[in-house]
Chain A
Amino acid sequence: DQQVKQNSPSLSVQEGRISILNCDYTNSMFDYFLWYKKYPAEGPTFLISISSIKDKNEDGRFTVFLNKSAKHLSLHIVPSQPGDSAVYFCAAVYGGATNKLIFGTGTLLAVQP
């Protein structure tokens, strides 16, 4: 059973517009979430995180929103740039101090110039 789901395999947006990537989870015990970005032939790189005690976290062009009642989080990228084209994974932290991650299946974002 997939505990972290990204239901959109791909997303295409125009440069300068907003990109919204969505993620749903099933386990209400998850208390920390991260977004990673992955380019082809590279490892994932950390983008932004959010604790379950918050509902929003911002870092420059990137904002993550968390709706605990809906078990849903989203990543907003404004404005989108061609260099943002990559696969984005959301991940939930479990296992307390061992900090293990459960990843979603990823969304391929294509930002068109």
Chain B
Amino acid sequence: NAGVTQTPKFQVLKTGQSMTLQCAQDMNHNSMYWYRQDPGMGLRLIYYSASEGTTDKGEVPNGYNVSRLNKREFSLRLESAAPSQTSVYFCASRTIAGVGDTQYFGPGTRLTVL
């Protein structure tokens, strides 16, 4: 049982390049989330998917798109990377059981945009 996995672990991009961050969970969870963490700040929600087939914006969605490919996988795409998107990105998942139920996080992807 791997939990939440993310690929790649590290990535360096040039301004304007595109890339997709992959996330998968094997816990049969319904909800999945993408966060970014910047120095001196807490994690901020980019997008989430309450269930397969649905996605919605979080606090900081600009410059990103997401795809809930199936129940297991939730990808985050940067169409035209900018230096402001240099950050550590975390994916999380949660089963739907009630308010406050635990979100389980992946190990993160460290992205640098030059």
Which A residues fall within an 8 A CB radius of B? 4, 6, 9, 31-32, 34, 36, 41-46, 49, 51, 89, 91, 93, 96-106
Contact = CB atoms under 8 A, between A and B. Distances in A.
A99 B101 contact: yes
B43 A99 contact: no
B99 A97 contact: yes
Contacts, number: 69
Interface string B42-66: 1111001010000010110000000
A9 B4 CA distance: 28
Given A32-B99, A97-B50, A42 B42 contact: no
B96 A89 contact: no
A46 B31 contact: no
B42 A51 contact: no
A42 B100 contact: no
**Interface bin, chain B:** 20 to 34
A51 B100 CA distance: 8
Contact of B94 (A32, A45, A99, A103): A99
Interface of B: 4, 31, 33, 40-45, 48, 50, 56, 58-59, 90, 92, 94, 96, 99-108
B50 A46 contact: no
B90 A103 contact: no
Contacts of A97: 50, 96, 99
Given A9-B40, A101-B45, 6 more contacts: A6-B42, A44-B90, A46-B103, A46-B104, A91-B43, A99-B94
Contacts of A101: 33, 43, 45, 103
